[in-house]
Amino acid sequence: MKKDYLNDEANILIVQKHQLNNSEDKISEIDSILLSIQNEQKNNDSSLDNMIDEMEKLLQDNEIKIVDNKISEIDAILLNIQLENEIKAIDKNIFTIKELDTVDFDENMSWDDYLKSIQEYSFRNNIDLKEDPFKHIMTKSQEVELQKRIKDEFSLKNAQCDKYDYMIAGTCGVITGLIDILFVGKPGESKLGDFTDEQANKITEKFAELLGWDKDKVIEKGSNTTASAIGFLEKKFKINYDQATTHATDGVVENLSLKNHHLKGLGHSPDIIGLFFSILNQFTNTSSFISNGQIITIETEEFELQGHNFIAKVFCGIANWFGHIMSDWTGSSGTVGQGGRGTGVPIPFYNLLQMINIGEFGQHKQTFATITTKVFEQGYDARHGITMAIPVVINELLIRFMYTMKAHFYHQKDWKDSMPSENIPELRRMLLVGHGTLCLIDGADAYIRSGAGSDMVAFLSSTNLIAWVRFGHLGLKELNAWYNSGHIDSDAVDKYIDDDLKQMLNKNR
The H helix count followed by the E strand count for the chain is 19, 2
Q: Which of 397, 362, 395, 413 lies closest to 464, judged by CA?
A: 395
Burial 385-397 (b: 16+ CB within 10 A, else e): bbbbbbbbebbbe
| H-state helical runs in 93-224 | 111-124, 134-137, 140-153, 163-179, 191-210, 215-221
Distance CA 377, CA 381 (A): 8
Cβ within 8 Å of residue 235, ≥6 positions away: none
Looking at residue 12, what is its pLDDT?
Answer: 84
CA distance 331 to 230: 8
Cα atoms found within 13 Å of the Cα of residue 338, Cβ hemisphere only: 6
Give residue 389's pLDDT.
98
Q: What is the pLDDT of residue 1?
A: 45
> 291 and 254 in contact (C-beta within 8 Å)?
yes
Per-residue pLDDT of the chain (509 residues; tens, 9 = 90+): 455 777 788 788 888 888 888 888 888 888 888 888 888 888 888 887 888 888 778 777 776 665 555 556 666 666 676 666 666 555 555 667 778 888 888 788 888 888 888 888 888 888 877 776 666 666 777 777 777 777 777 777 788 899 999 999 999 999 999 999 999 999 988 899 999 999 999 999 999 999 999 999 999 998 999 999 999 999 999 999 999 999 999 999 999 999 999 999 999 999 999 999 999 999 999 999 998 899 999 998 877 777 778 888 899 999 999 999 999 999 988 888 888 888 899 999 999 999 999 988 877 789 999 999 999 999 999 999 999 999 999 999 999 999 999 999 999 999 988 999 877 899 999 999 999 999 999 999 999 999 888 899 999 999 999 999 999 999 999 998 888 877 777 777 777 777 777 777 777 66
Contacts 24+ apart (CB under 8 A), 164-167: 164/406, 164/410, 165/403, 165/406, 165/426, 165/429, 165/430, 166/430, 166/433
Q: Give pTM, 2 decimals.
A: 0.71
Q: Let me know if 376 is exposed, middle or buried by CB neighbors in 10 A (0-12, 13-18, 19+).
A: buried
Residues 6+ apart with CB under 8 A from 291: 253, 254, 255, 256, 264, 354, 369
With beta carbons less than 8 A apart as the criterion, state whether 7 and 1 touch.
no
- In this prediction, residue 144 carries a pLDDT of 75
Please tell me whether residue 155 adopts helix, strand or coil conformation: strand
Do the strands 294-299 and 286-291 form a parallel or antiparallel pair, or are they unpaired?
antiparallel
